[in-house]
Structure 1
Amino acid sequence: MQTNWHTISLSEVFSEAESRKGGLNSSEANQRIKEFGRNVLPQEKPYSKIRLFLSQFNSPLMYILLVTVIISLSLKHYSDTIFIAVVLLINTTVGFYQENKANQSLLALKKMVKVRARVLRDGYEKEIDSEELVIGDIVFLKHGDKVPADGRIVESRGLKLNEASLTGESQAVEKKAEDVLSESTPLPERTNSVFMGTIVEEGWAMMIVVATGINTQIGDIVSLLKKTKERKTPLQKKIVSLSRWVGIFILSIVVIVLIEGYFTGKNFADVFVASLALAVSAIPEGLLPAITIIMVLGMRRIFKQKGLVRKLSATETLGSVTIICTDKTGTLTEGKMQVSHILTGTKELMSDSIKGLAKDENVNGVESHISVLKIATLANEAFIENPEAGLQEWVVRGRPTEKALLLAGTQAGLNKHELERQYPVLDRIMFESDYKFAATYHRKNDKQNVLYIIGAPEEIIARCVGLDIDGKNEKLGTVQADKLINKLEELAQKGLRVLACAHRDYNAETKYQNLAELVNGLSLVGFIALKDPLRQDTKDSILTTKKAGIRTVIVTGDHKLTAKAIAEEIGLEAREENIIEGKELETISDDELREKVKHISIYARVSPRHKLRIVDAFQSNGEVVAMLGDGVNDAPALKSADIGVAVGSGTDVAKEAAD
């Protein structure tokens, strides 16, 4: 039985994994590789070119045409034999060429970079190929690393992971070495564990490997993918039906002609040959090449729109779709944070509405907004690597949130390099989960220094005594603090991530031991709200599909409120009765789900298995389902749907499962 690693203490984890804090030695690691195998995911063997060519014959209509060739040849109707054989050859060659070209393009898109891992082996820190990792290995993780295996956190500092490809969670998840969690804790909330394929956005950690290869969470999804059967497309179903009727019609003709010849006393051999000749002439040999040519033309039109079609039949299926199930993070949205609102002053901070400055508005004339962006730019570790290049060519380094803040400030005309020259940095506190804020201490002039702080609103408000509002500084009382907290909750319900900005002036002679000592008695300047923005064409695409009579539903692993906010933004129904969460799906039967899918528009906090059930429920209702996704967690549903569409920026697993 597989161990629930998140439910046991660290000492038990080390005992179960037969390991220690000093790591394994080489002989132990080699023995475990022999016993349990390498840390790789199972991969389906790709189609060989011969197999891909032969697969073009896998159609009932092709079977009938092949039988027709044999019959024509036996009757010595060489002209018919040659004509039908040429038609078959052209049809299979065109189909093979297009599908092989698409598959080769997909292979070229795959990243061939090996993942490396830093481990403790033989008492020393080493860098090895992640395939060589075994259960019990001690692995070090740092900012930017891809987690090489499932693990339990032993030590960590400010660790945040992007788990979007695995769980659909849009925001980075904070992780720490907690003791134990309950057995029922869902995957996105297992904060004491890290999972293969996710990305370290912030911080540092030491973990012990508890699962490798097929036994990891991502391995579980790959196993589910292998068990998932592909459905026949509507065109394939129609061709099967047509072939059946053509077969029945031809057999009927043969029987009728034989019976008529028998009763009229004609020679049986002559009548049989005549009936077979009549049957051959009734075969619609031109139908298959006509269908193939039409699908190839459709495939080329999709390619011009930067879409890659792996299977010819998928071109027709697109035109038959009645339901689109779409993931949110990285599919409807860009999968990266951007500043959406800046809130300062009475009208924005104390009102009941959210009218803050949108990021694409001109902020150069709004002094309070500039003050907020100035703090966000200076209390920031991100930097632009090539500021001399054009905006679209900028290479920005740093944490996702800090990159978004820096870009917002730069687009408002603030130059971080010039600001730091004007206000030299004396000290700084980098953002950490322990502090929940970042701070920089600058020389303002010969007599004064200034402290700039940005961080979690609850933490910043608790440290503030004043409020810069409407051009003056007021005392921050309990009533105003409550209104600010209400505003914060209102923004959170819109699926926004909120940061607060504050400052305080100090005498240049002020002494301190730790800069954190000065982070009190602050003046709040305002809030910055960030979100994962919609892709530019999302709204128009949803509107186009709606006009075409296609229903769109969101199927995401993200939070309910975030999914609801996105749904409202793109014009989908987002009332409470139209939303269901994964935990509720666990309690209902397949029959009940078939009824519920008729009116549910948003499926939140769902797992890969839930996505499969949702797709199957729609198909059971006679719908033709298209699944859009980009993550590993979308792959089983992409394969099960009538047509799977993977986003270009998605994972290799998702692309391989798509059509």
Structure 2
Amino acid sequence: MRGYYEKTPEESLEMLGVTSNGLNDEEITKRREEYGFNELEEAARKSPFQVFLEQFKDFLVIILLVAAIISAFLGKLESTIVIMVVVIINAILGTIQHIKAEQSLKGLKALSSPVAKVFRNGQKLEIPSRELLVGDILYLDAGDYVSADGRILESFSLQVNESSLTGESESVLKFIDVINKDDVSIGDRKNMVFSGSFVTYGRGVVLVTSIGMNTEIGKIANLLESAKEKKTPLQVGLDNFGKKLAFVILIISAIIFGLDIFRGRNIIDSFMFAVSLAVAAIPEALSSIVTIVLALGTQKMAKKNAIVRKLHAVESLGSISVICSDKTGTLTQNKMTVQKVFVDGKILDHDSLDHDKTLEKNLVLMALLCNDAVTVENKEIGDPTEVALVNLGEIYELDELIIRDQYPRLGEVPFDSDRKLMSTIHQFNDKYIMLTKGALDVLLSRTVKVETSEG
């Protein structure tokens, strides 16, 4: 079966039985029964009590529990109480760490878009993103998170950041043309958008083709849920140590028991002595010390925004000397910043411009005016390069919205991949001036003069 990227917008609409008026109430009810809600399914989470009980599965902990039971039979209640307190504290620490990690992971889900703009029953509506259906006509604007996979019907300089899927930090320019190739990778399906990505520029209209677990990000979530857990090197080492220790203790206790019998001591007294020796030889504090040390490690990592779900994973991370990756975007903040500025024949640091000098002041003003990006309530909306220029203005306490009100845009030529330039027209002191930014090679080929302080 051909993918949607191989079909025209008209063929995609016809295949899903959708008209230009969008879905009607009858189709919405029918498709809700067929497709369900647009959300990622989660495996049943363990209750805190289940997590607490799992802390007792460790082999060394089992040995300690056996020692506690034997101590109780021997009438040594102090030893029993000490061992049980140590084991319970160990279990509580592990449970607390697990719950804190789960809460942190839930916080990551806030990245998903809570609402979506759709066209239903011939009118534009705003609905919760979880109510999106296959066949919905979805509207996307700069700053929107994409709530589902879809085929692009209309694109007006639409650019989408797909780093969550591809690892590429640069935004992808989208189009509506058919891609006549088989097995095209996600990054090359430029006539489609995918759930979890982010619109950085322009606007578009999309036909929803997949929701929930059927989206590309849903397939990744399914793989994560089905992945099998393996014991960490520390867990394997502690298990092996516990087994060897138990074996050695049993052998020594048996030898002591035999020697006591050989010396003519009472069997019951000999047995009690051997058991007491075995209990004394077990390192009751080892499990707790390991847990406390690992818990301290997770706290240090949490301060650096690294969430550790399993305590023992800290030791595995500490053993890593080399990390290999084929993508840089996933290892960075995925954020561009201005580092150097060339003005008046000099290269300056981004934070060392003199705002009293006309050339340097005008450069920052032009960077904010020939620009569509905005920062609102710590949310950056727009192309990463344009956001970097807006952040440059903030260093000098210039608000892009105020500047654009002072020098309103009278006309513009939007950026496109052929021209590689963006131009806007503004009025400065009764003069109409066109500001242009874009690819350096294209700009230099059109440049006839570079302004300096000397003229």
State the TM-score bracket (shorter-chain normalisation).
0.7 to 0.9
Q: Is 1:466 paired with 2:455?
A: no
Asked if 2 retains the 8 angstrom alpha-carbon contact of 1:178 and 1:192, the reply is: yes
The one-letter amino acid of 1:138's match is I
1:60 alignment counterpart: 59
Between the aligned partners of 1:320 and 1:119, the Cα distance in structure 2 is: 50
Asked if 2 retains the 8 angstrom alpha-carbon contact of 1:425 and 1:440, the reply is: no
| 1:460, distance to aligned residue in structure 2 (A) | 4.5
Report SS of the residue matched to 2:221: helix
Residue 388 of structure 2, aligned match among 404, 418, 429: 404
Asked if 1 retains the 8 angstrom alpha-carbon contact of 2:39 and 2:130, the reply is: yes
1:377 alignment counterpart: 368
Distance change (3 Å), C-alpha of 1:156 and 1:108:
closer
Between the aligned partners of 1:230 and 1:419, the Cα distance in structure 2 is: 55
Aligned length: 453
Distance change (3 Å), C-alpha of 1:109 and 1:381:
closer
Between the aligned partners of 1:246 and 1:3, the Cα distance in structure 2 is: 62
| 1:198, distance to aligned residue in structure 2 (A) | 0.8
The one-letter amino acid of 1:362's match is L
Q: Deviations over 1:584-606 (max 9, x none)?
A: xxxxxxxxxxxxxxxxxxxxxxx
Distance change (3 Å), C-alpha of 1:408 and 1:236:
same
Between the aligned partners of 1:426 and 1:269, the Cα distance in structure 2 is: 98
Gaps of 5+ in 1: 349-355, 386-392, 474-659
| 1:134, distance to aligned residue in structure 2 (A) | 2.2
Distance change (3 Å), C-alpha of 1:88 and 1:110:
same
Between the aligned partners of 2:338 and 2:356, the Cα distance in structure 1 is: 18
Asked if 1 retains the 8 angstrom alpha-carbon contact of 2:171 and 2:383, the reply is: no
Between the aligned partners of 1:44 and 1:171, the Cα distance in structure 2 is: 33
Q: Deviations over 1:582-629 (max 9, x none)?
A: xxxxxxxxxxxxxxxxxxxxxxxxxxxxxxxxxxxxxxxxxxxxxxxx
The one-letter amino acid of 1:150's match is D
Distance change (3 Å), C-alpha of 1:288 and 1:398:
closer
Between the aligned partners of 2:360 and 2:172, the Cα distance in structure 1 is: 29
| 1:93, distance to aligned residue in structure 2 (A) | 2.9
| 1:360, distance to aligned residue in structure 2 (A) | 3.2
Report SS of the residue matched to 1:276: helix
Shifted more, 27-36 versus 213-222: the winner is: 27-36
Q: Is 1:437 paired with 2:428?
A: no
Gaps of 5+ in 2: none
Distance change (3 Å), C-alpha of 1:200 and 1:370:
same
Between the aligned partners of 2:94 and 2:400, the Cα distance in structure 1 is: 56
Report SS of the residue matched to 1:146: coil
Asked if 1 retains the 8 angstrom alpha-carbon contact of 2:160 and 2:174, the reply is: yes
Report SS of the residue matched to 1:161: strand
Report SS of the residue matched to 2:110: coil
Distance change (3 Å), C-alpha of 1:10 and 1:134:
same
The one-letter amino acid of 1:404's match is A
1:170 alignment counterpart: 169
Between the aligned partners of 1:444 and 1:101, the Cα distance in structure 2 is: 56
Asked if 2 retains the 8 angstrom alpha-carbon contact of 1:375 and 1:454, the reply is: no
Q: Is 1:427 paired with 2:410?
A: yes
Asked if 2 retains the 8 angstrom alpha-carbon contact of 1:196 and 1:218, the reply is: yes
Distance change (3 Å), C-alpha of 1:148 and 1:85:
same
Distance change (3 Å), C-alpha of 1:134 and 1:238:
same
Asked if 1 retains the 8 angstrom alpha-carbon contact of 2:160 and 2:197, the reply is: yes
Between the aligned partners of 2:121 and 2:11, the Cα distance in structure 1 is: 22
| 1:225, distance to aligned residue in structure 2 (A) | 0.9
Distance change (3 Å), C-alpha of 1:45 and 1:363:
farther
Between the aligned partners of 1:19 and 1:396, the Cα distance in structure 2 is: 34
Distance change (3 Å), C-alpha of 1:130 and 1:181:
farther
Asked if 2 retains the 8 angstrom alpha-carbon contact of 1:181 and 1:190, the reply is: no
Between the aligned partners of 2:27 and 2:183, the Cα distance in structure 1 is: 33
The one-letter amino acid of 1:329's match is G
Q: Deviations over 1:469-500 (max 9, x none)?
A: 66799xxxxxxxxxxxxxxxxxxxxxxxxxxx
Report SS of the residue matched to 1:467: coil
Asked if 2 retains the 8 angstrom alpha-carbon contact of 1:343 and 1:369, the reply is: no
| 1:192, distance to aligned residue in structure 2 (A) | 0.4
Report SS of the residue matched to 1:39: coil
1:362 alignment counterpart: 353
The one-letter amino acid of 2:424's match is T
Asked if 2 retains the 8 angstrom alpha-carbon contact of 1:6 and 1:183, the reply is: no
Between the aligned partners of 2:404 and 2:160, the Cα distance in structure 1 is: 30
1:275 alignment counterpart: 274
The one-letter amino acid of 1:275's match is A
Q: Deviations over 1:428-454 (max 9, x none)?
A: 1152437643323344555x5332222
2:241 alignment counterpart: 242
The one-letter amino acid of 2:29's match is N
| 1:328, distance to aligned residue in structure 2 (A) | 3.3
1:329 alignment counterpart: 329
1:225-304 maps to which residues of 2 (within 5 A)? 225-257=224-256, 259-260=258-259, 269-302=268-301
Asked if 2 retains the 8 angstrom alpha-carbon contact of 1:363 and 1:412, the reply is: no
The one-letter amino acid of 2:90's match is N
| 1:58, distance to aligned residue in structure 2 (A) | 2.3
Report SS of the residue matched to 1:285: coil
The one-letter amino acid of 1:185's match is V
Between the aligned partners of 2:375 and 2:207, the Cα distance in structure 1 is: 35
| 1:196, distance to aligned residue in structure 2 (A) | 0.4
TM-score of the two chains, using structure 1 as the length reference? 0.60
1:521 alignment counterpart: none
1:646 alignment counterpart: none
Between the aligned partners of 1:304 and 1:400, the Cα distance in structure 2 is: 27
Between the aligned partners of 1:148 and 1:317, the Cα distance in structure 2 is: 35
Q: Deviations over 1:471-530 (max 9, x none)?
A: 799xxxxxxxxxxxxxxxxxxxxxxxxxxxxxxxxxxxxxxxxxxxxxxxxxxxxxxxxx
2:434 alignment counterpart: 451
Asked if 1 retains the 8 angstrom alpha-carbon contact of 2:149 and 2:208, the reply is: yes
Between the aligned partners of 2:53 and 2:448, the Cα distance in structure 1 is: 76
Between the aligned partners of 1:227 and 1:368, the Cα distance in structure 2 is: 59
Between the aligned partners of 1:248 and 1:271, the Cα distance in structure 2 is: 19
| 1:78, distance to aligned residue in structure 2 (A) | 3.2
Report SS of the residue matched to 1:136: coil
Asked if 1 retains the 8 angstrom alpha-carbon contact of 2:142 and 2:381, the reply is: no
Between the aligned partners of 1:458 and 1:178, the Cα distance in structure 2 is: 28
The one-letter amino acid of 1:214's match is M
1:377-396 maps to which residues of 2 (within 5 A)? 377-382=368-373
The one-letter amino acid of 1:377's match is L
| 1:203, distance to aligned residue in structure 2 (A) | 1.3
1:534-549 maps to which residues of 2 (within 5 A)? none
Report SS of the residue matched to 2:248: helix
Distance change (3 Å), C-alpha of 1:306 and 1:455:
closer
Identity %: 34
Asked if 2 retains the 8 angstrom alpha-carbon contact of 1:195 and 1:217, the reply is: yes
Asked if 1 retains the 8 angstrom alpha-carbon contact of 2:60 and 2:242, the reply is: yes
The one-letter amino acid of 2:448's match is G
| 1:120, distance to aligned residue in structure 2 (A) | 2.4
The one-letter amino acid of 1:429's match is E
| 1:157, distance to aligned residue in structure 2 (A) | 0.6
Q: Deviations over 1:140-164 (max 9, x none)?
A: 1112111111001011111001112
| 1:293, distance to aligned residue in structure 2 (A) | 3.2
Between the aligned partners of 1:465 and 1:305, the Cα distance in structure 2 is: 46
Asked if 1 retains the 8 angstrom alpha-carbon contact of 2:150 and 2:206, the reply is: yes
Q: Deviations over 1:365-420 (max 9, x none)?
A: 887666654433332345677xxxxxxx9887655433322443565697878977
Asked if 2 retains the 8 angstrom alpha-carbon contact of 1:155 and 1:206, the reply is: yes
Between the aligned partners of 2:113 and 2:380, the Cα distance in structure 1 is: 24
Shifted more, 62-71 versus 252-261: the winner is: 252-261
Distance change (3 Å), C-alpha of 1:183 and 1:410:
same
